[in-house]
Structure 1
Amino acid sequence: MRLLTEAELNKVPMSILVDAVRAQIEADAEGHAVAPPRHNVDFGDGGLTFTCGGNDKLAGFRVYDTFPKAEGVDEDQVVIAYDRVTARLKGLFVGERLGALRTGCLGGVAADVMTAKKPIKKLGLIGTGTQAETQLLAIAAVREIEQVQTFSRNANKRTAFAERMAAQLGVSVAAVDDPRQAVMDADFVVLATNAAEPVIETDWLAQGCHLTTLGPKSKSRHELPLDILPRVRSCASDSPQQIAAQGENHMFFGQSLNIQHLGKYQEEQGPGDLTLFLSAGLAGTEVALLSAAIDALA
């Protein structure tokens, strides 16, 4: 059994992690994965959330808590992978980094599957936290990015983020003063916030752009504007089953939106002009990523 550290995980090439997540998405689409919606255990003042899943060779889970925390306190998470072939515990990871990388890889797979195989001329990014970072890293693993413009509410944080990511990726990353400037004329837009209200307006988006949304997607809390639907030509999610589990609470419940499984995605020819990826967190992708990282470091 391998206890994987964050330092070790960060040494694994992003392309390997993206491929591991891609394989799990495809396995789920083909019926070779176990990936039920997440399970919440309520303790009153918070709870535990489990995402359990796997495939023909792996089984495992990720668990994190939702108990109240002091500002600045990290969220403890645990990911465990079992080898189904040997019936032995393969590895364990403690910390937030693996979950963040997994979500980034979901966005990387969506970029590769849903957009043309050509450089991204401008990527507009709303949010400058860890999720925004891992989205950039994963997308850069599958597409050349010519420039990034990013916005978040804290000017110091967005400037520091832009400087750090420019050095890491070797591309132009500019912090801008308003969200409209970040997304206007962008052929690829990522929303990576925990905002309860829309962080962009639909008419800011360029004709034919791709949009990925990571944040809240409920009727009462959503970073995406509801009036975007008429512009959506094709839509996919890594976990339509997770969206279905939200039922009438989902922001698009009852709407005429065909949410395809990312593992079976085919571009549609509807009246809209945008492609939309709804990141939902397919169960088992964390387990697949942990296993692939252990194998890569063996």
Structure 2
Amino acid sequence: MDEQELLAARFEEHRPRLRAVAYRMLGSAAESDDAVQGTWLRLVRTDVGDVANLRRWLTTVVARVSLDMLRSRETRRDDPWESRLPAPAVGHDVGVGPDERAELTDSVGLALLVVLDTLSPAERLAFVLHDMFAVPFDEIAPIVELTPAATRQLASQARRRVQGTVPDPGTDMARRREVVDVFLAASRGGDFEALLALLDPDVVLHVDPAATLSGVAGAVGAAAVAGTFAGRASAARPALIDGLPGAVWAPGGGPRVVIGFTVEAGRIVAIGLVADADHLDRMDLRIRDV
């Protein structure tokens, strides 16, 4: 085995962890594979003899690559909404089977992905690396260009937001269903004022990369989100998404786009449009009668 083959073998040992970090940073199986590939390209250009801890080095690099991708994504979020709904995006490493891809999504529900996407890129990185992968703050700090103390505060801010907005299974499901149903009815009817009444003033619309490729844009604030949905959801059907009230666009019976809602105190605080094929495949989707 030559040096290149040995390096590739060592990299493959760390690939599952790298993909898991990237997926929680990016929320897309296709983009996480791109980030892992970018990490490999950086590795082959590096003198590994200078790398004391390969696992730590690779984690840092995939985090930096993912952070750059997140920041680049932020610059594209003012794209206009287009009338056509997105088709699923398919993209993953050759030879990666469904069981491996399942590891990316089984512990990352739609609600958490929606909440993570409301964080700033730096907040998301600090929270993901520290709270999900136990990376020390002194190793995270250089990535976000802050002191360890400031990085700790960044993660703390993110943690409070995540803990405050991920739905509690014990909340009133009937009320949440009602909110979603009224929202869909108001959207179909183009009732802007009714939509405003249902939305938190700081509501965030998250659009995953697969949907973004089709020109669908994210939005922040009740007026912007209400304007996005007014008259738009005529083809969406109410559904249970991993047991939570939401909606799905499924022409021909197959889901193409899922709309997830995070509801707090009777108001919608976050909405997520998901078109990523790998993620859709792992969801428990059940069309329901209103």
Establish whether TM, by shorter chain, passes 0.5: no
Structure with bigger gyration radius? 2
TM-score, normalised to structure 1, is: 0.29
TM-score, normalised to structure 2, is: 0.30
Q: Which structure shows the bigger proportion of residues in helix conformation?
A: 2
Q: Which structure shows the bigger proportion of residues in strand conformation?
A: 1
